Amino acid sequence: MSKNNDNLRNEDVVLKTKEPFSRTNILATVMICILGVLAIVTIIMAIVPKSYAVHLSDNNPHYIFIYEGSSTPATTLFADEHKEDYDKLLSAYEKSFKQSSLSALFQKELFNKIEYDYLGTNDKTLSNIVTSNDYVLGFVYSQEQTLYRNGDPYVCEELKYLSQYKDGVVKFKKVWITVNNENGVNTVNFYFQRLASEGGSESSYAILQITTKGLQENLFNTIEEILK
């Protein structure tokens, strides 16, 4: 009887000894799994790109105006005549809308919403725009372009009463893009110059504003270098 009691006591000691180690192992395993998942998510977010870009056209502009505080361009870059500066500027412009999802999360801009706003027919002029920003880029296309949103032509209901915008679809040949010397993600506005006639001539007013986000420090510096 005493021997059986001794065996029971020994088993009880073993169970009591093993129990805390078992709980510790479980907690350690859970923590390792959580840290592993966080590490994987962080790596993925660091790799997956985040884009704030507005898709203007599959075609590059025929030439680009650079405005600095005046509605008269500080310089004009043609795709063929000024290829080096033109390509450098266009590359910096395209990269300004891209960063990693992790970086966007830290800057609280992971879920940026691109906004489309009708401006009216005689409201926003180039003079208003250039005096409110460090630089403005003017993209000028040789042929009339159609603005797309999510793969479909963008329809602005307010434009349907104007004959040059059939069915409210936004057509353009010129667009103005704001550039500012700010660290981190900042607001970027696109202004679409209003067509004055169905044939495609332009007025001096913007008809539509698109607002998105961008990292413009490198683009700003590229413009500075070109204007030197």
Which pTM does this prediction carry?
0.75
Q: Map out the domains of the chain as residue ranges.
A: 1-47, 49-227
What are phi and psi for residue 23, nearest 5 degrees? -65, -40
pLDDT digit string, tens, across residues 22-64: 667 666 666 666 655 555 544 444 444 456 778 888 899 999 9
Q: Is 101 helix (H, G, I), strand (E, B) or coil?
A: helix
State how far Cα 64 lies from the chain centre: 20
Q: Can you spell out the DSSP letters for 169-186?
A: B-EEEEEEEEE---SSSE
pLDDT digit string, tens, across residues 173-221: 999 999 999 887 889 999 998 887 666 567 778 999 999 988 899 999 9
CA 155/CA 167 separation, integer angstroms:
7
Cα 176–179–181 angle (5° rounding)? 170
Residue type, 112: N
Q: Is the dihedral of CA 30, 35, 39, 41 positive or negative?
A: positive
